[in-house]
Chain A
Amino acid sequence: MLRVELTTQLLRLRTLIALLALAAVPVLSGLSFASSAGHRNGTQGGLYGASPYSALNHDMASLEFIGPLLLPIVVALLATAIASADRDWGVLRYLYVAPVTRARLLAAKLAAAAVVTVAALGCVLAAGLGIGTIIFGWHPFHVIGAPDLGIGATIGKVLAATGYTLLCLLAMAAIALTLGLLLPRGAEALAVAVAFVVVASILNGQAVLHAVAVTLPVHYWQNWVGLFDPAGASGLGLGAAVQAGWIAGCVAACWVILRRRDPAA
Chain B
Amino acid sequence: MIQAEELSKRYGRRPAVRGLSFAVAAGQICALLGPNGAGKTSTMRMLTGLSRPDAGAVRIAERPVSLGAPVLRRVGVLIDGPAFVPHLSGAANLRLLWRAAGREWPPPGLDDALDLAGLGAALGRRVRGYSMGMKQRLMLAQALMRQPDVLVLDEPATGLDPAEVRALRRHLAARAAAGATVLISSHQLAEVQLLASHLVVLNRGSLVAAGTLDDLLGGAGSLEDAYLALIEGSDRAAR
Residues of A within 8 A of B (CB): 1, 3-4, 7-8, 11-13, 85, 89-91, 93-102, 104-105, 262-265
Q: In the complex, which residues of chain B have a beta carbon less than 8 angstroms from the beta carbon of A94?
A: 77, 83, 97, 142
C-alpha gap A7/B142 in the complex (Å): 18
Partner pick for A99 among B11, B45, B72, B142, CB 8 A cutoff: B72
Q: In the complex, which residues of chain B have a beta carbon less than 8 angstroms from the beta carbon of A99?
A: 49, 68-70, 72-73, 101
Inter-chain contact A93/B79, CB cutoff 8 Å: yes
Chain A nearest CB: distance from B181 CB in Å? 15
Which residues of chain B from 35 to 70 have a CB within 8 Å of any chain A CB?
42, 45, 48-52, 67-70
Q: Which residue of chain A is the closest to B152 with respect to CB atoms? A: A97
As a 0/1 sequence over residues 97 to 110 of chain B, the CB contacts with chain A under 8 angstroms (1 = contact) are 11111100000000
Known contacts A95-B100, A96-B72, A264-B45; 20 further A-B pairs (Cβ under 8 A): A4-B100, A7-B96, A8-B85, A8-B96, A85-B85, A90-B81, A91-B97, A93-B79, A94-B97, A94-B142, A95-B97, A96-B49, A97-B79, A99-B69, A100-B101, A262-B51, A262-B52, A264-B50, A265-B11, A265-B51
Chain B nearest CB: distance from A101 CB in Å? 4
* Chain B: interface residue total (CB-CB under 8 A): 34
Closest 3 CB pairs of A and B: A90-B83, A99-B72, A101-B68
Q: Report the stretch among B86-94, B169-177, B187-195 that lies at the interface.
A: B86-94
Pull 11 A–B residue pairs with CB atoms less than 8 Å apart, ordered by A. Answer: A1-B102, A8-B96, A90-B83, A91-B83, A93-B83, A96-B67, A98-B100, A99-B49, A264-B42, A264-B50, A265-B11
C-alpha gap A12/B128 in the complex (Å): 13
Q: Which residue of chain B is the closest to A92 with respect to CB atoms? A: B83
Q: In the complex, which residues of chain B have a beta carbon less than 8 angstroms from the beta carbon of A95?
A: 97, 100
Chain B nearest CB: distance from A120 CB in Å? 20
Beyond A90-B80, A91-B85, is A96–B96 a contact (Cβ under 8 Å)? no
Q: Which residue of chain A is the closest to B142 with respect to CB atoms? A: A94
C-alpha gap A101/B73 in the complex (Å): 12
Chain B nearest CB: distance from A257 CB in Å? 14
Which residues of chain B from 128 to 162 have a CB within 8 Å of any chain A CB?
142
Chain B nearest CB: distance from A15 CB in Å? 10
Inter-chain contact A1/B100, CB cutoff 8 Å: yes
Chain B nearest CB: distance from A45 CB in Å? 45
Which residues of chain B from 184 to 222 have a CB within 8 Å of any chain A CB?
none
Q: In the complex, which residues of chain A have a beta carbon less than 8 angstroms from the beta carbon of B88?
A: 7-8, 11
Q: In the complex, which residues of chain B have a beta carbon less than 8 angstroms from the beta carbon of A91?
A: 83-85, 97
**Most chain B CB within a 10 A radius of its CB, from A4, A93, A100, A262:** A93
C-alpha gap A93/B11 in the complex (Å): 18
B contacts with A: majority SS: loop
Inter-chain contact A12/B87, CB cutoff 8 Å: yes
Chain A nearest CB: distance from B46 CB in Å? 9
Partner pick for B50 among A96, A102, A105, CB 8 A cutoff: A96
Residues of B within 8 A of A (CB): 11, 42, 45, 48-52, 67-70, 72-73, 75, 77, 79-81, 83-88, 92, 96-102, 142
Q: Which residue of chain B is the closest to A87 with respect to CB atoms? A: B83
Inter-chain contact B81/A264, CB cutoff 8 Å: no
Partner pick for A89 among B79, B86, B92, CB 8 A cutoff: B86
C-alpha gap A263/B101 in the complex (Å): 18
C-alpha gap A152/B88 in the complex (Å): 46
C-alpha gap A96/B45 in the complex (Å): 11
C-alpha gap A265/B12 in the complex (Å): 10
C-alpha gap A8/B126 in the complex (Å): 13
Q: In the complex, which residues of chain B have a beta carbon less than 8 angstroms from the beta carbon of A264?
A: 42, 45, 50-51, 80
Q: Which residue of chain B is the closest to A13 with respect to CB atoms? A: B87
C-alpha gap A171/B17 in the complex (Å): 42
Inter-chain contact B99/A3, CB cutoff 8 Å: yes
**Most chain B CB within a 10 A radius of its CB, from A12, A97, A265:** A97
Q: In the complex, which residues of chain A have a beta carbon less than 8 angstroms from the beta carbon of B50?
A: 93, 96-97, 263-264
Q: In the complex, which residues of chain A have a beta carbon less than 8 angstroms from the beta carbon of B79?
A: 93, 97
C-alpha gap A1/B102 in the complex (Å): 7
Inter-chain contact A98/B52, CB cutoff 8 Å: no
Inter-chain contact A97/B75, CB cutoff 8 Å: yes
Q: Which residue of chain B is the closest to A101 with respect to CB atoms? A: B68
C-alpha gap A65/B147 in the complex (Å): 55
